[in-house]
């Protein structure tokens, strides 16, 4: 019925309207205070690609911004010390996303918060060359901060035969509860636009398109005013719908171009960067500041003081939870938003990484009994990638991996719309993720 009134806002086909929004908890919290951790655990793998290799050892003294892990190969990213202090150890530590122990550099804070020499100095960026921009981004260890953590310098090095005509900046922040991008856009809009222009310059692309969900119309107005004299940068409001901020949906809504789920945006001449990444790019190029901190939304009904914090990488979430006054009766802590986030098994050991945009703390996370599929077809209507989640979940459950492959299981982007919408409460994405991992393992063996 609602669909009869066709909305003028840009959007895509499929997706879901979440019944919980949760952004109200944190969106109006004015300042984003900095958290100063006592100890940080810096994973060598905070990005997609090869893990960095640690170049410090136990007992070394490091300063803020100092390189502690060097990228291994092109698709990899540097890791820098986020505080000054003594390297307590280099140990395998449980990774908050994979759950597997993976090497991390542990630094104990020495109390002084000073940059290493040569870092954090303002420079003139008017005449900087594209290659210099790329090099600065690469050495600063910047990865996609929307959550995918793909190394940004790789994204900015498209194959020679692909022509990129548009940079798409993602200000959708479609995950419920999260407001870290929103706060950043409100607090640092000029810096974000500068970062966007640097990215455009880096790949020699004239046009840019900024997409913002309609629930952030104040940010839309701010951006519109900043780019008033810049006809090449367009700002558009998009419908509030999940996953509006995913690459495929963003490009469909703004540019009306379609490409396969497993393809990259460069197939249709576009590059997508998150607003957080654009800000990090600006900081890296203008001030030579490596990526050592980011905005993190700590929210949910499990904390009394939900807030956005400026958090140093590797901060134990225990400290964030205390700062947000965590309640005693919490039953779930999720890294990321409620749709795609990863539930944490052990909150004592969990630490933030580059991709951590939110920590959702809940007291009433329900455990549902899952039922056999009743074939209602709601998952098919919601799947933005044109898959059949109902059939896939049944095939993956039965471990019929070959049939699952025939039904495009590898094209699933795990956005979670199907699991959300399922009235039988089937853990569809969960089953698909396991099947994908299993298939990848078999392929590696063969």
Partner 1 sequence: MYDAESIPRIMWAVVFSLIPAGIAGVFTFGYYGFCVVFISSITAVITEMGILLLRKKPVLNTIKDGSAVVTGILLAYTLPPSTPWYVSVVGSFFAIAIVKHAFGGLGNNIWNPALAARAFLQVAYPASINSDWRVLQHGIGNLVHNITKTDPGGKLVDAITRATPLAKEAGAETYHLTQLFVGNIPGCIGETSVIALLLGGAYLMYKRYIHWYVPFYYIATVFVMVLILPPRIVTPWANNPLYHIFSGGLFLGAFFMATDMVTSPLTKRGLIIFAVGAGALTALIRFYSGYPEGVCYSILLMNTATPLIDRFTKPRLYGTRVKKV
**Smallest distance from partner 1 to CB 152, Å:** 24
Residue closer to partner 1, measured from CB, 6 or 19: 19
CB of 372 to partner 1, least distance (A): 3
- Among residues 248 and 312, whose Cβ is nearest to partner 1? 248
Give least dist CB 346 to partner 1, A: 22
Report in angstroms the alpha-carbon separations of 200 from 33, 169, 189, 385. Answer: 31, 11, 17, 28
> Within a 10 A sphere around the Cβ of 364, how many other Cβ atoms?
11
Write the CA distances from 20 to 25, 343, 402, 413, integer angstroms: 11, 18, 37, 22
Closest distance of CB 260 from partner 1, Å = 4
Min dist. Cβ of residue 425 to partner 1 (A): 6
Q: In terms of CB distance, is 155 or 248 closer to partner 1?
A: 248
Shortest separation between residue 75's beta carbon and partner 1, angstroms = 23
Rank residues 137 and 373 by Cβ distance to partner 1 and give the closer one.
373
CB of 172 or CB of 340, closer to partner 1: 340
> What is the C-alpha separation between 101 and 89, in angstroms, rounded?
15
- The residue ranges that bind partner 1 (CB under 8 A) are 1, 16, 18-20, 176, 248, 258-261, 263, 338-339, 366, 368-369, 371-378, 380, 383-388, 390-391, 407-408, 411, 419-425
Residue by residue, DSSP assigns 292-318 as: -EEEEEEESTTBSS-EEEEEETT-BHH
Q: Which is nearer to partner 1, 52 or 255 (CB)?
A: 255
**Minimum CB separation from partner 1 for residue 213, in Å?**
18
Nearer to partner 1 by Cβ, of 16 and 154: the residue is 16
The closest of 156, 180, 188, 353 to 279, measured between CA atoms, is: 188
Of 302, 284, 11, 294, give the one whose Cα is nearest residue 135: 284
The two counts, helices (H) then strands (E), for the chain are 13, 17
Give the residue with the Cβ less far from partner 1, 141 or 265.
265
Smallest distance, partner 1 to C-beta of residue 339, A: 7
Counting other chains too, the contacts that 182-186 makes at CB distance below 8 Å and 24 or more residues apart are: 182/23, 182/27, 182/216, 182/219, 183/26, 183/27, 183/29, 183/32, 183/295, 183/297, 183/308, 184/275, 184/276, 184/279, 184/295, 185/212, 185/216, 185/219, 185/222, 185/223, 185/275, 186/218, 186/219, 186/222
Residue of 245, 219, 180 lying closest to 22 (CA atoms): 180
């Amino acid at each position: 019925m609602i669909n009869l009134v066709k909305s003028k806002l840009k959007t895509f086909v499929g997706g879901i309207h979440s019944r919980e929004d949760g952004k109200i908890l944190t969106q109006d919290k004015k300042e984003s205070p900095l958290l100063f951790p006592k100890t940080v655990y810096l994973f060598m793998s905070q990005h997609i690609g090869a893990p960095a290799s640690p170049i410090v050892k136990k007992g070394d003294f490091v300063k803020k911004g100092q390189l502690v892990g060097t990228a291994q190969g092109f698709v990899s990213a540097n890791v820098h010390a986020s505080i000054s202090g003594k390297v307590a150890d280099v140990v395998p530590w449980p990774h908050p996303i994979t759950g597997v122990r993976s090497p991390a550099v542990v630094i104990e804070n020495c109390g002084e918060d000073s940059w290493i020499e040569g870092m954090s100095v303002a420079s003139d960026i008017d005449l900087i060359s594209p290659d210099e921009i790329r090099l600065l981004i690469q050495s600063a260890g910047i990865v996609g901060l929307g959550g995918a953590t793909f190394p940004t310098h790789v994204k900015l090095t498209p194959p020679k035969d692909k022509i990129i005509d548009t940079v798409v900046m993602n200000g959708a922040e479609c995950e419920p509860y999260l407001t870290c991008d929103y706060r950043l856009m409100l607090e640092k809009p000029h810096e974000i636009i500068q970062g966007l222009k640097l990215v455009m310059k880096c790949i020699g692309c004239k046009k840019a398109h900024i997409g913002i969900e309609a629930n952030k119309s104040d940010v839309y107005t701010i951006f519109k005013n900043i780019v008033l004299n810049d006809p090449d940068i367009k700002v558009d409001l998009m419908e509030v719908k999940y996953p509006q901020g995913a690459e495929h949906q963003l490009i469909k809504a703004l540019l009306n171009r379609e490409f396969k789920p497993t393809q990259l945006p460069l197939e249709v001449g576009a590059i997508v960067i998150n607003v957080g990444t654009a800000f990090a790019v600006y900081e890296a190029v203008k001030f030579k500041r490596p990526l050592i901190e980011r905005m993190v939304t700590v929210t949910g009904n499990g904390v009394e003081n939900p807030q956005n914090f400026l958090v140093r990488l590797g901060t134990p979430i225990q400290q964030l939870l205390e700062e947000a006054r965590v309640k005693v009766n919490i039953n779930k802590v999720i890294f990321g938003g409620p749709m795609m986030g990863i539930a944490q098994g052990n909150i004592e050991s969990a630490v933030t990484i580059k991709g951590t945009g939110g920590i959702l703390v809940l007291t009433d996370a329900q455990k549902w009994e899952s039922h056999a599929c009743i074939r209602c077809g709601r998952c098919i209507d919601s799947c933005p990638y044109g898959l059949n989640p109902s059939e896939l979940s049944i095939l993956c459950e039965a471990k019929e991996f070959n049939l699952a492959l025939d039904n495009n299981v590898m094209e699933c982007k795990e956005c979670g719309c199907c699991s959300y919408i399922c009235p039988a409460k089937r853990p569809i994405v969960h089953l698909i993720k396991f099947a994908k991992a299993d298939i990848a393992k078999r392929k590696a063996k063969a």
